[in-house]
Amino acid sequence: MIKRKNLGQHFLKSNQIAKFIVDSSNLKKSDIVYEVGIGQGILIPFLCKNANYVISTEKDKILYEQAIQKFSNITNLSIIHGDGFKQNEKFDIFISNLPYSQSKIAINWMLMQKFSLAVIMVQYDFAKKLLSKNQDRRAISVLSQSCFDMKILRKIGKENFSPPPKINSVVMEFKRKSSISKQLIQSVNLIFSFRRKKVQTIGKYLGLEIKSDIRLDEMNNDEIIKFAKSIRNI
């Protein structure tokens, strides 16, 4: 199977890993599952076997049409053509083998959703960024750690994909702690554009009077979220 260059996608070809992803979600027969990016559909049989209902989305028209034909006999499955991050579906569990180019978009979308658990595949370097707790943190690190309990479940070698990517991947678990507003996401991203500055200096840029000599990268996650809320009275 060739790479879909416009989406930057490498297709998982290991049924054993596909089963591991689904098993890691501990699906119940009452669960509604949402999948973004069907690809070749390797997750669908495992998802539909274990869940009450599965909603799968695919942006690529060719892959969407292939999935419609391939899985036409599965009754607890809905396949949607379009951007999975722009749909308005209600679900309990989010599972996806994400295209690398969609990882950051996916996390920002996940922050605002109300599901209980997500199990997704991302590139290893991106996972390390999400989990970073030192001064290398980015806005997405703080936001993710504030909203989820996250951990790496398994490292996945590049040989498990077609075509093989240049970097390794990981399966990650995200357990919901809280949801977050789009406005707060924007505020955290805004203050991280001054990441090496003192809070007092950031305040001046934003037209606020703040008396503090601490730098943003010296603050903990809770302090950063509180500061982000204060600058727009969220």
Write the pLDDT tens digit of every residue in 60-91: 999 999 999 999 999 999 999 999 999 999 99
129 shares its domain with 210? no
* 161-162 and 11-12 beta bridge pairing: antiparallel
- CATH at 51: 3.40.50.150
Residue 6 forms part of a structural domain: no
Tell me, what's the pLDDT at 2? 39
Whole-model pTM: value is 0.91
58 close to 34: Cβ distance less than 8 angstroms = no
212 shares its domain with 105? no
Residue-number span of the structural domain to which 91 is assigned = 11-179
Query: Mean pLDDT, the chain, as a whole number?
Result: 91
33 close to 91: Cβ distance less than 8 angstroms = yes
Q: Which amino acid is at 78?
A: S
- Give the whole-angstrom CA distance, residue 108 versus residue 98: 13
DSSP code, position 164: P
Among the candidates 179, 205, 222, a domain finishes at: 179
Of 208, 143, 145, 220, give the one whose Cα is nearest residue 182.
143
- Give the whole-angstrom CA distance, residue 228 versus residue 210: 13
Digitized pLDDT (tens) for each residue of the chain, 234 residues in all = 334 444 557 899 999 999 999 999 999 999 999 999 999 999 999 999 999 999 999 999 999 999 999 999 999 999 999 999 999 999 999 999 988 888 999 999 999 999 999 999 999 999 999 999 877 899 999 999 999 999 999 999 999 999 998 889 999 999 999 989 999 999 999 999 988 888 888 888 888 888 888 888 889 999 999 989 988 655
157 burial class (0-12, 13-18, 19+ CB within 10 angstroms)?
exposed
Domains in the chain: how many in total? 2
Tell me, what's the pLDDT at 213? 84
Of 47, 225, 57, 60, give the one whose Cα is nearest residue 146.
225
Question: How far is residue 33 CA from its own chain's centroid?
Answer: 15
